[in-house]
Amino acid sequence: MRKLRYHLIDVFTHQPFGGNQLAVFTNGRGLPPHLMQQIAKELNFSETTFVLPPQEASNDFWVRIFTPAVEMPMAGHPTVGTAFVLALEQLIDSSNPETMVRFEEGVGVIPVRVHWANGRPALIKMSQPLPKFGPEFSDQAVMAGMLSIDPTVIDPNYPLQVVSCGLPFLYVPLKILATIRQIKLRYDLWEQHLKDFASPHLFVFTLETELENSTVHCRMFAPALGIAEDPATGAASGPLGCYLVKYGLVKQTRQVALVSEQGFEIGRPSLIHIEVEQENERITAVMVGGQCVYMGEGFLQLSETLV
């Protein structure tokens, strides 16, 4: 039998039982992809990661990311959380106040910065690819029906648009916080109208927030990934920041710093830090980061015939 050790952490939170759960297997050597997928389905977190030696010597780690249903080309909370675990395991240098490591992921190399305090990882930020603005979803009435809300609360001044910083999401702006709390996704309408759209992943937001220091309040629904609702979506937070900057929903400065709150409706409050840099009205850099809480560890015991 082979014991596969994993770490359990909560990502994008400073307190236990908040943020987004993640399981990290720091030694994924010898595991075939189909077994990684089965393990992710067994654990049933939003994502599970497996760390492997890099394919290129200039990089530090190869990180493979799985939802219960599919392998992801990149993702935010798995990237941040995996760096946190590797730092705790002393597999990342802590001799300087900030350490930069390079993760190989499906979209390419993702630079990750680990900020240290008292010898522990305090804040972790990942760089994301520059945004690509995609097609718009034109039927607000259909979208309102899909979300089980009144069509008048969808803000008509801004588009329902797909944006990607490595993984595409469809952004839906709402006017008020009370409505976003009431959303109930109708899977029949989602399957009919959005399943085969440019992005089937729905990211709904409003500028009314629960917390005074937050910029935006969000919810994310991804049935295509096997995720009914995600408590903290780092891969969607970079594009969200780019959407807010592009359409003037936040103050325009060279470096825009935002805080996104998510997961409140499902009892896992999360805070995600977003930084968007721009020059001459062109976005030049996107970073997403946050804190993590270590929750524990365990192991899976598998027959060698499976491995």
> In the chain, what is the straight-line distance between the N-terminal and C-terminal CA atoms, in Å?
9
- Cβ(219)–Cβ(229) below 8 Å: yes
Half-sphere exposure of 273 toward its Cβ, with a 13 Å CA cutoff? Answer: 16
The rounded distance, in Å, linking the Cα atoms of 268 and 123 is 19
* Close Cβ partners of 109 (under 8 Å, ≥ 6 residues apart): 59, 102, 103
The rounded distance, in Å, linking the Cα atoms of 254 and 8 is 37
**Residue of 5, 120, 107, 125 lying closest to 63 (CA atoms):** 107
Active-site entry in 47, 104, 105, 229: 47
Extract the runs of DSSP E, i.e. beta strands, from the chain: 2-11, 20-25, 47-52, 61-66, 71-72, 98-105, 108-117, 120-128, 132-136, 161-164, 168-173, 202-206, 216-222, 227-230, 255-262, 270-279, 282-290, 292-302
**Residue of 217, 16, 234 lying closest to 125 (CA atoms):** 234
Here the tokens at position 301 are 């015991």
The rounded distance, in Å, linking the Cα atoms of 159 and 12 is 28
Q: Is 297 a catalytic residue?
A: no
The rounded distance, in Å, linking the Cα atoms of 30 and 282 is 43
> For residue 261, which phi and psi values (nearest 5 degrees)?
-105, 140
The rounded distance, in Å, linking the Cα atoms of 221 and 33 is 25
Question: Which amino acids are annotated catalytic?
Answer: 47
